[in-house]
């Protein structure tokens, strides 16, 4: 049993950018954020990244999945082992495939293995319950974003924007009493963000990402490709909605004739244009965009974001949050909500039929 009151939760996240494992501590009672604790980062080695990449798009029992899961479990155990005085762990695993239209999702990594390795209770498989009730299974961070807005003392609607491999936003009205009440939240994936750009950099330059937008800054976006992206049927769907990392894999073929710089500039602009289109769905314009994920470190992407959205955008660090650790912190927070039977998603965040608490808890034997 989880003790009453405030607890110390440790969350872990391995995102679609496949850079490594983020780990972070949150002190919470499952409703309010009471404090943030230490963090850690364990990068994937090139061979580990290659093993996971080879399994991307695969479902359980397909080739390469077992090897990818072993890498994920080993890397998470290493990233989390250095923490102390932890009551509970939130383990998201590595998403290999996500098909919300068919109500299927696949995260590599078994929480039972991690519970035995660490000796702490582990909450995992956060998405399945939501999908069984007709939800998209993603995004799951919005309930944490609501708590962050309360922690910041915000009073006007704002957007928390995560620019990882896929972009996703959470529109928050912090005046509401709880995240699951009507009109408190709206959340959805905006479209491709860093994944196409990172894939381009790896293929053409042997680099994991466009550091400092050095390459894209030398190029010019192809507006025709941008119009083609925004004409995709995904942008006609009303939120909530979510995407697989490779949903726009065809972009690589479209930018193939472009120079390296123009291709990078185009894919950088795609991320910003998708966010701008997404803001059209918000119940009312946000007063600000608080940006997390790797995209906030891309000065050109941030510049394009402000230009195309017409809303002030700044890294979440400007308000005292940690943009590198926000998703890991989210799963620490969500783990406590799961343990206490509190909802982790609702119709406005995933399209689920009713507010639901996802996840299962595995405890170490002995």
Q: Is residue 76 part of a domain?
A: yes
pLDDT of residue 41: 97
- Least confident residue range of 9-13, 137-141, 276-280: 137-141
Note if the bond before 139 is cis, omega within 30 degrees: yes
48 and 173 housed in the same domain: no
The number of angstroms, rounded, from the C-alpha of 207 to the middle of its chain's C-alpha atoms is 22
Query: How many Cα atoms sit within 13 Å of 316 on the Cβ side?
Result: 24
d(CA 29, CA 9): 10
Taking residues 133-154, report their average pLDDT.
94
Taking residues 291-319, report their average pLDDT.
96
Residue 246 has pLDDT above 90, yes or no: no
353 and 271 housed in the same domain: no
Domain span at residue 244 reads 142-319
Residue 101 has pLDDT above 90, yes or no: no
Taking residues 173-196, report their average pLDDT.
96
Residue 1: pLDDT band by 50, 70, 90 thresholds? low
pLDDT digits (tens, 9 = 90+) for 311-361: 999 999 999 999 989 999 999 999 999 999 999 999 999 999 999 999 999
183 and 274 housed in the same domain: yes
Residue 44 has pLDDT above 80, yes or no: yes
Handedness of CA 175, 180, 186, 189 (dihedral sign): positive
Report the chain's mean pLDDT, rounded to a whole number: 95
How many separate domains does the chain show?
A: 2
Compute, in degrees rounded to 10, the torsion defined by CA atoms 320, 5, 327, 290.
-30
- Specify the pTM: 0.91
pLDDT of residue 143: 98
133 and 220 housed in the same domain: no
pLDDT digits (tens, 9 = 90+) for 104-113: 899 999 999 9
């Amino acid at each position: 049993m989880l003790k009453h009151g405030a607890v110390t939760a440790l969350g872990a996240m391995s995102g679609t950018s496949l850079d490594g494992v983020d780990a972070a501590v949150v002190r919470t009672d499952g409703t309010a954020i009471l404090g943030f604790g230490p963090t850690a980062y364990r990068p994937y080695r090139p061979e580990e990244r290659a093993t996971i990449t080879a399994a991307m798009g695969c479902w359980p029992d397909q080739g390469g999945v077992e090897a990818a899961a072993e890498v994920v479990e080993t890397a998470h155990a290493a990233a989390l082992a250095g923490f102390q005085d932890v009551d509970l762990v939130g383990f998201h695993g590595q998403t290999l495939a996500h098909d919300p239209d068919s109500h299927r999702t696949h995260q590599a990594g078994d929480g039972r293995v991690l519970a035995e390795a660490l000796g702490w209770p582990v909450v995992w498989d956060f998405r399945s319950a939501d999908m069984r009730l007709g939800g998209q299974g993603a995004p799951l961070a919005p309930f944490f974003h609501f708590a962050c807005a309360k922690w910041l003392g915000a009073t006007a609607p704002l957007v928390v924007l995560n620019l990882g491999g896929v972009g996703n936003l959470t529109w928050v009205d912090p005046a509401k009493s709880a995240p699951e009440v009507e009109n408190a939240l709206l959340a959805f994936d905006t479209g491709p963000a860093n994944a196409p750009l990172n894939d381009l950099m790896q293929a053409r330059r042997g680099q994991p990402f466009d550091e400092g937008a050095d390459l894209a800054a030398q190029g010019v976006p192809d507006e025709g490709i941008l119009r083609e992206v925004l004409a995709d049927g995904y942008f006609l769907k009303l939120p909530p909605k979510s995407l697989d990392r490779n949903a726009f894999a065809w972009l690589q073929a479209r930018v193939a004739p472009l120079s390296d710089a123009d291709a990078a500039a185009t894919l950088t602009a795609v991320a910003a244009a998708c966010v701008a289109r997404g803001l059209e769905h918000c119940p009312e314009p946000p007063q600000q965009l608080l940006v997390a994920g790797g995209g906030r470190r891309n000065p050109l992407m941030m510049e394009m974001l402000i230009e195309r959205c017409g809303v002030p955008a700044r890294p979440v660090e400007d308000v005292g949050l940690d943009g590198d650790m926000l998703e890991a912190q989210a799963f620490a927070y969500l783990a406590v909500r799961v343990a206490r039977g509190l909802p982790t998603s609702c119709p406005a965040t995933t399209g689920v039929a009713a507010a639901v608490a996802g996840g299962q808890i595995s405890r170490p034997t002995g």
